[in-house]
């Protein structure tokens, strides 16, 4: 089986995250040890020892993208000096050396500027708690961070606070177009007339905000695909801001769940395909395997022509080639989109995104959210209908008969495969792309994934060892939700 990775390859073990949960049903850890240590915060000897220990066992941590990136770029830069490989483009080399210089500046800057941050005890606060302190903890940013950031990608513009205020009419409420767990997003117009979305990170402790901001930049600087969000620039005066190209239709969630709007089937299909292409690129298209870890309708933005763009890389993770998967010990991500191996063992790999994509397809088919207002899971409701092939009962009533039934069957079958309880029996995103483009038959893909699996993943072994079945998975899903949402 081509998608199965060697079970003997080692997992990358994550640090113990202490999760919190916010109003959107999203659970996040606080900043992890690796990052805190990398920021040279003034800490006790005991804390420092703990952090060093975590740093040693940690692969690229959920919040450690930046440092991981810096380390890798440093080593890539070193190896590129020794090699004359054709694959190293001049721009890659430039970007690598910029990262190196940025790393030096950032380390210097962080050592100077973050001395005043609260002690490590604060990392035990959940995001939901720190959220109550919104607005009160915007850190004073150190000038060298700004100097370092402009080295990351010279085409990114550094915006002053007054430029951002002018663009958004002083962050006027009328320009507020989105709100997430960490940030408010404002529509803005730059001096040259260009419309942008300005994401202002406002929630969390100073460390969390810095880590969110740098994590997202650390991923965005390395990706370039028509189906991933693009950055115009950033601003670090008076808070942390990402300046993104504006997606005029907002997010898929804002369109799909609006009672006034009806999203045509052709557009839904286009969104399904584009999102699959974007994910296929993240998983297999670049130098590194990138796991997004927070695929959901509100993180799929829609361009003028409804081409989808995967956004919000705050939780994204790089997975080294030699690791089968990564293990985290706290919950991160969004309820309604998390696969069973994640609930049980904290296992993160490409199939984490594949499962979330399966949920997204269900949302496109049904027009229902992953979790409804009473926290009922869409997967729990839809799985029996998928198993019985009762597609008519699944389809969004707003579509009536206005859809291509062959496409609908394909999307329903792909969703079913992606939602397989066993991660190894979920397809790879690039295989999904082939099916949605009509280049591979859905029945061939279905058969391939229903064959007995000879090579098994670590998560498969664990799930089987516990005789984990789909009923138990569904029970676990509701149990976890009940506990964490305190129902
Ligand atoms: N480039 C953009 N164009 C238009 N709207 C956007 C853009 N970026 C973000 N938004 C809107 O703002 C919302 C919140 O953005 P985003 O998901 O990046 O914030 P967040 O705080 O990281 O959220 P999360 O809780 O998912 O982590 C999105 O769902 C979307 O509606």
Q: What integer pLDDT is reported at residue 249 of this predicted model?
A: 95
Does 383 lie in the same domain as 479?
yes
Question: 128: Cβ below 6 Å to ligand 1?
Answer: no
For residue 396, give every residue at least 6 positions away whose Cβ sits within 8 Å of its Cβ, in sequence order, or none. Answer: 365, 366, 367, 368
Q: Which one, of 62, 87, 65, lies nearest residue 76 by Cα?
A: 87
Is 4 part of a structural domain of the chain? no
Is 133 part of a structural domain of the chain? no
Q: Which two tokens stand for residue 364?
A: 């496109």
Q: What is the CATH number of the domain that holds 297?
A: 1.10.510.10
Is 90 part of a structural domain of the chain? no
Does 371 lie in the same domain as 235?
no
Does 279 lie in the same domain as 375?
yes
Does 234 lie in the same domain as 298?
no
Give 38-74 pLDDT, tens digit per residue. 222 222 333 333 333 333 333 333 333 344 434 443 4
Is 131 part of a structural domain of the chain? no
Atom number of ligand 1 nearest to Cα 298: 29
Is 406 part of a structural domain of the chain? yes
- Final residue in a domain of this structure, among 196, 228, 246: 246
For residue 196, give every residue at least 6 positions away whose Cβ sits within 8 Å of its Cβ, in sequence order, or none. Answer: 167, 187, 188, 189, 190, 232, 243, 244, 245, 246
Give 373-420 pLDDT, tens digit per residue. 888 899 999 999 999 999 999 999 999 999 999 999 999 999 999 999
Q: What integer pLDDT is reported at residue 237 of this predicted model?
A: 92
Does 367 lie in the same domain as 356?
yes
Does 184 lie in the same domain as 268?
no
Does 442 lie in the same domain as 293?
yes
Identify which of 123-127, 156-160, 162-166 has the greatest average pLDDT. 162-166
The residue segments making up the domain with residue 401 are 247-449+469-486
Does 371 lie in the same domain as 253?
yes
Per the rule left: phi > 0, alpha: psi between -120 and 50, beta: everything else, 171 is left
Does 318 lie in the same domain as 438?
yes
Is 52 part of a structural domain of the chain? no
The model's confidence at residue 125, banded by pLDDT at 50, 70 and 90, is very low
Mutate to test the pocket of ligand 1, among 296, 307, 312 (most ligand atoms within 8 A of CB): 312
Instruction: Check whether 425 has a pLDDT greater than 50.
Output: yes
Distance, CA of 480 to CA of 484 (rounded, Å): 6
Q: Tell me 397's DSSP state.
A: G
Does 168 lie in the same domain as 190?
yes
Q: Catalytic annotation on 294?
A: yes
Question: 183: Cβ below 6 Å to ligand 1?
Answer: yes
- Final residue in a domain of this structure, among 246, 281, 300: 246
- Final residue in a domain of this structure, among 231, 246, 261: 246
Q: What is the CATH number of the domain that holds 210?
A: 3.30.200.20
Is 346 part of a structural domain of the chain? yes
pTM (global) more than 0.80: no
Q: What angle do CA 181, 362, 349 make, to 5 degrees?
A: 60
Answer whether 204's CB lies under 8 Å from 55's CB: no
Atom number of ligand 1 nearest to Cα 245: 1
Three-state SS at 201: strand
Beta strands at 326-327 and 289-291: parallel, antiparallel or unpaired: unpaired
How many distinct structural domains can be found in the chain? 2
Question: 249: Cβ below 6 Å to ligand 1?
Answer: no
Atom number of ligand 1 nearest to Cα 183: 21
Does 185 lie in the same domain as 321?
no
Beta bridge partners of 289: 319
Does 474 lie in the same domain as 359?
yes
Is 116 part of a structural domain of the chain? no
Distance, CA of 42 to CA of 65 (rounded, Å): 21
Question: 228: Cβ below 6 Å to ligand 1?
Answer: no
Three-state SS at 269: helix
């Amino acid at each position: 089986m081509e998608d199965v990775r060697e079970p003997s390859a080692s997992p990358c073990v994550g640090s113990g995250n202490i999760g919190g949960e916010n109003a959107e049903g999203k659970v996040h850890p606080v900043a992890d040890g690796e990052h805190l240590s990398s920021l040279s915060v003034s800490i006790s000897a005991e804390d420092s020892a703990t952090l060093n220990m975590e740093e040693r066992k940690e692969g690229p941590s959920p919040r450690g993208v930046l440092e991981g990136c810096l380390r890798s770029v440093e080593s890539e830069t070193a190896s590129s000096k020794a090699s004359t490989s054709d694959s190293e483009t001049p721009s890659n080399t430039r970007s690598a050396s910029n990262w190196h210089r940025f790393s030096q500046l950032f380390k210097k800057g962080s050592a100077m500027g973050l001395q005043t941050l609260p002690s490590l005890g604060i990392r035990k606060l959940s995001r939901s708690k720190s959220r109550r302190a919104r607005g009160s903890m915007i850190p004073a940013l150190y000038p060298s961070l700004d100097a370092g950031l402009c080295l990351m990608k010279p085409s990114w513009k550094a915006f002053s606070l007054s430029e951002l205020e002018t663009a958004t009419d002083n962050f006027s409420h009328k320009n507020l177009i989105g709100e997430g767990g960490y940030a408010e997003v404002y529509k803005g117009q730059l001096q040259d007339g260009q419309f942008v979305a300005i994401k202002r990170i406002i929630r969390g402790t100073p460390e969390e905000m810095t880590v969110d901001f740098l994590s997202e930049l650390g991923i965005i600087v390395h990706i370039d695909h028509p189906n991933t969000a693009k950055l115009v620039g950033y601003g670090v005066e008076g808070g942390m801001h990402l300046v993104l190209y504006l997606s005029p239709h907002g997010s898929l969630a804002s369109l799909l769940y609006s009672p006034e709007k009806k999203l045509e089937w052709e557009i839904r299909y286009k969104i399904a395909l584009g999102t699959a292409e974007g994910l296929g690129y993240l998983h297999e298209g670049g130098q590194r395997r990138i796991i997004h870890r927070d695929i959901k309708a509100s993180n799929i933005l829609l361009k003028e022509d409804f081409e989808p763009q995967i956004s919000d890389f705050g939780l994204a993770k790089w997975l080294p080639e030699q690791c089968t998967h990564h293990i985290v010990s706290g919950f991160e991500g969004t309820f309604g989109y998390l696969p069973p191996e994640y609930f049980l063992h904290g296992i993160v790999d490409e199939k984490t995104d594949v499962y979330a994509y399966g949920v997204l397809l269900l949302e496109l088919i049904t027009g229902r959210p992953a979790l409804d207002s009473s926290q009922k899971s869409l997967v729990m409701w839809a799985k029996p209908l998928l198993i019985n092939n009762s597609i008519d009962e699944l389809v969004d009533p707003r579509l009536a008969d206005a859809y291509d039934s062959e496409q609908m069957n394909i999307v329903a079958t792909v969703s079913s495969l992606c939602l397989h309880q066993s991660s190894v029996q979920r397809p790879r995103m690039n295989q999904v792309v082939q099916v949605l483009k009509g280049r591979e038959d859905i029945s061939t893909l279905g058969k391939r994934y229903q064959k007995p699996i000879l090579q098994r993943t670590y998560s498969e072994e664990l799930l089987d060892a516990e005789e984990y079945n789909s009923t138990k998975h569904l029970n676990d899903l509701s149990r976890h939700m009940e506990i964490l949402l305190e129902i």
